[in-house]
Amino acid sequence: MKFIMPHKIPFLLWHGFVKDSLRIFKFLPRRLKLSYFFVFFFQIITAITETFTLLVISLFAMSVASYESAMNHFMIRPFFEFFTVISENITTPRRMVAFTSCFMISFVIIKSILTIYTNHVTTIFSEKVAYHVGREAIRRYLNKGYYWHISSESSDIMHKIINRSSLSQFTILLLQLYSNIICCVFLFTSLFIAQPRLTVVVVLSFSLTSILLYTSIRHSLDRAGQISSSTSIEESITMTAMTKGIREIITFRQQKIALKKMMAAVERGLPARAYLAFCHTMPGLIMECVGFSTIGGMVIYMLAAHEPMDQIVSAASILMLTAWRILPTVTRSLTITVNLRGIKTRALISLDLLENFTRQEVDVVSEPDPKFRFTTNLEMRGVDFRYPNSKTLALKNINAKIKKGQSVGLIGPSGAGKTTLALLLSGLVPPTGGSFFVDGRELNPATRAAYLSKLGYVPQNPLLMQGTLADNVAFSRWGLGYEREQVLEACKLAAMDFVMSDPKILDMNLGGGGSLSGGQSQRVAIARALFISPEVIIFDEATSSLDQANENIIRNTITRIRGEITIIIIAHRLTTVEDCDLIFWIENGSIKMIGSPAEVLPIYADSVSKPVTQPSLSIETLH
């Protein structure tokens, strides 16, 4: 343990607390900055009221013990000099006790009401900070381009956003620390006026104890806070992965392993969290011992010095009031300091994230170009694509053309680049090399937005949100309202016979999609894509997890819309694409062959069915 020198205390306070307060304040919008001052003002007023309440209670105790001492009290004498009518009526000890009793009751009630109100506005401010932090982070997150979202940075940032409540809690703790420090200053000042010698002893005792305690645990608190923060994010990431993969976990009977993985992160953070919880209770117990030892020691010293009993009684009364009001305030300040050190790492992760986001311009979602029309073809010329942070190309030198109204099947082994090619054809991300043309023109932000508005997408695992089945079909109109007839028409095109036989099913709440089968969920996704009357629609492994009957239903749906809509189908099953106009055979990120199904599929099927020959191993080879 390295002792903190007194001249370094302001430096530590600046870097430990004040600097962070200024960083948070700078990030807040104007209305929350005003709320910040408003909350801080009321916390100071509460602190001052706490001080006067202590003095009024001491006045009451003094009036019971000695009428003359109460009349000469530094608080009451100016009051009586100003309000002579009251002083003329308080001529007996009984009237003085009655007056100070009413005075005390009034102050305690005012102090309690003010404290309740201050706690109320502080809590509201905390929630507003958390709301603002979440809104700004998520707004910037959602407006990032899709290329950024497929990077590792995206998922990492989402887990940091989840911890935004730590930043608001940190802000409130800082405000509470400042108000408690101000309260301590007022309380010690009033105590110094009444008993200068006692105040010096109490201040030295409390200050020395606080510095020693803070010095001994501040580094361990920082380490515990860092471990608690990192393991909390790890737990969140693990839980998200488990939720997404629960089907595989149950299918392969890996519940024990999944539990072990999850609890490993919890166990790593357990000692740190336990230490932080222990340190939260420690200051109160230590300061209580020091406080009452100081009080008892001062009384014993005064007795040993044979000081008059009336002075000892007066000093003891002041010291007991110190133990009742000042000691808890000092203890609370130290406890808040401990909590701040423990939560600081998590809070600053969110603050760093927000500051980083703030330094970047918010990606503006362009309005679609109203003049844009897709009339002839989609074309790729020398297209390359590399995923963020990847050293290898996912696609290389792609040259292909798709005429409007054609149906194209993308086939190839897993990892060949089919989904990546469909991603570029969707217009969500631009190529990292080469050019993508729509009707012979490259897309700019406005034409890209217009192209996307004409694009339908059917994923392998469609998103089914909380809401009715109709809400899910009309997902593109989420929160804007929609025509029920348009929903029914999309359901009809998607061959949703279970809806056409009973249209009331459209009002069924899906509750996250658990009430639909796999085939029904896929048809909801197809209806959602058809709802916008698309000119291009992409089926991304849309039938890979379905049985033959459901696949046939979806194939029939695709057949009905052929010719009217440009269709791009990613498939492993060759039966899914055997009715397409063109087949693109993708392998190792390149197009190996383009042709009709009759030309490409037999050759592809033959290459897939050929066994991979292994070189024969001799005894010498083995050795």
DSSP labels for 281-337?
HHHHHHHHHHHHHHHHHHHHHHHHTT--HHHHHHHHHHHHHIIIIIHHHHHHHHHHH
Within this chain, domains 29-359 and 377-609 share the same CATH topology: no
Cα 398 to Cα 230: distance, rounded to the nearest angstrom: 42
- Locate tokens 């361990």: which residue? 220
Question: What is the C-alpha to C-alpha distance for residues 189 and 181, in angstroms, rounded to an integer?
Answer: 12
Do 196 and 63 touch, CB atoms closer than 8 A?
A: no
Mean pLDDT by 10 residues, the chain (623 residues): 51 64 83 88 82 74 70 65 71 79 86 88 83 79 78 68 75 80 75 71 77 77 80 76 74 78 82 79 76 78 78 68 67 80 80 74 75 91 91 92 92 89 91 93 90 88 82 85 88 84 84 68 87 89 66 74 85 84 93 93 84 41 31
What's the angle, vertex CA 171, arms to CA 168 and CA 172, rounded to 5? 90
Q: How far is CA 398 from CA 158, 385, 421, 604, in A?
A: 34, 9, 9, 19
Rg (CA), the chain: 37
Pairing of strands 455-458, 536-540: parallel
Taking residue 525's Cβ as centre, other Cβ atoms within 10 Å add up to: 27
Residue 234 to residue 220: CA distance in whole angstroms: 21
Helix (H), strand (E) at residue 373: none
For the chain, the domains span 29-359, 377-609
User: In what side-by-side order are the strands of the sheet with 441-442?
Assistant: 395-403, 377-385, 433-438, 441-442
- The model's pTM is 0.65
Of the CA atoms within 13 Å of residue 150, those in its CB half-sphere come to 14
Q: Which residues, in sequence order, are bridge partners of residue 381?
A: 435
- Is 531 in contact with 485 (CB distance < 8 Å)? no
pLDDT at 197: 74
Report the C-alpha gap between 56 and 66 in whole angstroms.
Answer: 15
- Give the integer Cα–Cα distance in Å for 363 and 317: 65
For every residue of 3-50, DSSP letters joined together read PPPGGGHHHHHIIIIIHHHHHHHHHS-HHHHHHHHHHHHHHHHHHHHH
What is d(CA 54, CA 104) in angstroms, rounded to the nearest whole number?
A: 9
Give me the pLDDT at residue 571, please. 82
H or E stretch including 367?
none
**Three-class DSSP category at 426:** helix
Q: What is the DSSP letter of 509?
A: B
Residues 176 and 123: their CA atoms lie apart, in Å, by: 11
Look at residue 399 and give its three-state secondary structure: strand
Cα(235)–Cα(427) distance, rounded to whole angstroms? 35
Is the four-CA dihedral 218, 224, 227, 231 of positive or negative sign?
A: negative
DSSP, collapsed to helix, strand or coil, labels residue 331 as: helix
Of residues 343, 209, 229, 173, the one with CA closest to residue 282:
209
pLDDT confidence of residue 381: 94
Which residues share a beta bridge with 441?
Answer: 438
**Other CB atoms within 10 Å distance of the CB of residue 262:** 16
Q: CA-to-CA distance for 315 and 329, rounded, in angstroms?
A: 20
Are 543 and 573 in contact, with CB atoms under 8 Å apart?
yes
Alpha helices in 360-496 (DSSP H): 418-426, 445-453, 469-473, 484-493
DSSP state letters, 165-202: HHHHHHHHHHHHHHHHHHHHHHHHHHHHHH-HHHHHHH
Fold of 377-609: Rossmann fold (3.40.50)
Beta bridge partners of 518: none
Residues facing residue 535 across a β-bridge = none
Residue with tokens 């087949």: 583
- Return d(Cα 154, Cα 157) in angstroms, integer: 5
Measured CA to CA, the distance from residue 592 to residue 538 in angstroms comes to: 21
Q: Does domain 29-359 have CATH number 1.20.1560.10?
A: yes
CB 594 within 8 A of CB 584: yes
Give the sign of the dihedral formed by CA 393, CA 397, CA 401, CA 407.
negative
Q: Is 444 left (phi over 0), alpha (psi -120 to 50) or beta?
A: beta
Secondary structure (DSSP) of 230-282 = HHHHHHHHHHHHHHHTHHHHHHTT-HHHHHHHHHHHHHHHHHHHHHHHHHHHH
Closest to 420 measured CA to CA, from 617, 233, 147: 147
> Minimal CA–CA distance to 297: which of 189, 193, 210, 205?
205
**Alpha-carbon distances, residue 427 vs 12, 378, 524 (angstroms):** 53, 11, 23
DSSP structure class, residue 576: G
Tell me how far apart the alpha carbons of residues 100 and 77 are, in angstroms, rounded to a whole number. Answer: 13
Residues 307, 308, 309, 310: what is their CA dihedral angle, to the nearest 10 degrees? -130
State the helix-helix crossing angle for 93-142 and 327-359, rounded to 10 degrees: 20
